[in-house]
Amino acid sequence: MSTNRQSRTKLQFYVGESNKKRFVIPIAYLNHPLFQDLLNKDEEEFGFNHPMGGLTIPYSE
């Protein structure tokens, strides 16, 4: 899969505070109710922060 095509079908996000882990998932996951619930809860608790160019979900390990 070409990089351009992949960037349109995948979403990258980071989880963590000081030691961030990068995850790349299919954009289709955004339509899944459990993933939407996770994002809504994260937004309520932390707000959204995008310092690395992708969605960042702060999480203390």
How many other β-carbons are positioned within 10 Å of the β-carbon of residue 56?
Answer: 20
Residue 2 to residue 31: CA distance in whole angstroms: 24
At 50 the pLDDT is: 65
Query: Residue 60: pLDDT above 50?
Result: yes
Q: What are the residue boundaries of the structural domains of the chain, listed by start? A: 3-56
Contact 17, 60 (CB under 8 A): yes
Edge-to-edge order in the sheet of strand 55-57: 21-26, 10-15, 55-57
Span 12-42, pLDDT tens digits: 888 888 888 888 989 999 899 998 998 888 8
pTM, full prediction: 0.63
HSE toward the beta carbon, residue 3, CA cutoff 13 A? 0
How many other β-carbons are positioned within 10 Å of the β-carbon of residue 23?
Answer: 14
